[in-house]
Copies of this chain bind each other. A is one copy, B any other.
Amino acid sequence: MVTIRDVARRAGVAPSTVSYVFNGSRSISEETRRRVQEAVDALGYHPRASARTLRSSRTHVLALALPRAAGLQDSVDGRFAIDVSDAANGLGYDLLLTTSQDKAEGLRRVALSGLADAAVLMAVDMEDARIDVVRELAFPAALIGRPADEDALPWTDLDWEEAAALAVRELAAAGHRDMVYLAPGEREVEGRRSYALRGIAGARRGARTTGAAVTVVHSVADPARLADRLRTVLGNPDADAGDGGGAGGAAGAGRGDGGGAAPTALIVQHPSAHHHILPSVTATGLRVPEDLAVVVIGTLPGDPASRALPRVELPVETLSFEVTWLAVAAAARQREGGAPSVTEPGARLLAESVGHLLIPPVLLPGTAPLAPPRH
């Protein structure tokens, strides 16, 4: 184990000088710097993180709090984890994963034991228990997701509400009067997942704005059951009444002049349905886009399977970078007692002062056009 003292001895300087060479907080003569560097290379010295942290009470580690809802987790989570890790590295931080089980236990433990300087909270609910935890502990944190209390903590998110409203508006502009909004599953709504509620609210708003009829249906993981629900709500003429069953999660919504006509458009917000939505629709006997226009919301960028459809992508990389920046800024603010540092122009400055950053949705064209309805 080679320490700073070994280096100092070999370079013929004091340990503190070696430290300053590393931390660069005071001027060092070129000669001294060179000799220290030489000793470092010769001995293969590398500072111990624990000693540094104990002394400076800075870890240069960010905690990433994953939700870890029992059962299947979306591939979205992993994608965020990787991109946040990259962003953190770029800012000189490492990333510690905390799959907080119950009551944000992991997050609390990480904060209390000083394992991280700040936390990034993923997949937040409208009222998220983890928010209370970090506030109670005065632990710097930033969220991916827009909580009910928008001023409690810095956050960033895709504007899911506007994304849904935008999809409805565009479809209405193309002539569609009757649409179906395939929202995340019931459980996500009951769990008050932010993106789920915002998306549905946007769909309703779009319906009001355009006068189109928008029926909100909740998605299900199982493709067969999903096809059932779609069959029911899309009112396919030659439905062969497969498994029968109830009307599923159809929840009436949207007022407009569309009345009870058969829907001509489908908006899909459920992440895990993105991949098999097309087969599920095809299973109902409808052709896309001739019989039914399909728009997808929240797809992963670069996902080949969803490039065919018109869609609003989830800007994972941007969100990851911004939330990381917000978390690091929060840590800095806490260290310096609240003085906001003005280091970057533009959106970032805004994000820091306002405390959040809402990313406007962009509707990308798919291979298949936004076909107008047939009647």
Contact = CB atoms under 8 A, between A and B. Distances in A.
Nearest to A58: B50
A101 B85 CA distance: 11
Interface in A283-334: 302-305, 307-308
B66 A82 contact: yes
Contacts of A106: 89
B115 A86 contact: no
Contacts of A114: 48-50
A73 B81 contact: no
A244 B182 CA distance: 37
Contact of A53 (B50, B66, B78): B50
Nearest to A99: B85
B223 A305 contact: yes
Total copies of this chain within the assembly: 2
A81 B97 contact: yes
A110 B85 CA distance: 14
Interface string A254-288: 00000000000000000010011011000000000
B99 A221 contact: no
A171 interface: no
Interface of A: 46-51, 53-54, 59, 61, 64, 66, 68, 71-73, 75, 77-79, 81-82, 85-86, 89, 94-99, 101, 106, 109-110, 112-115, 221-224, 272, 275-276, 278-279, 302-305, 307-308, 367
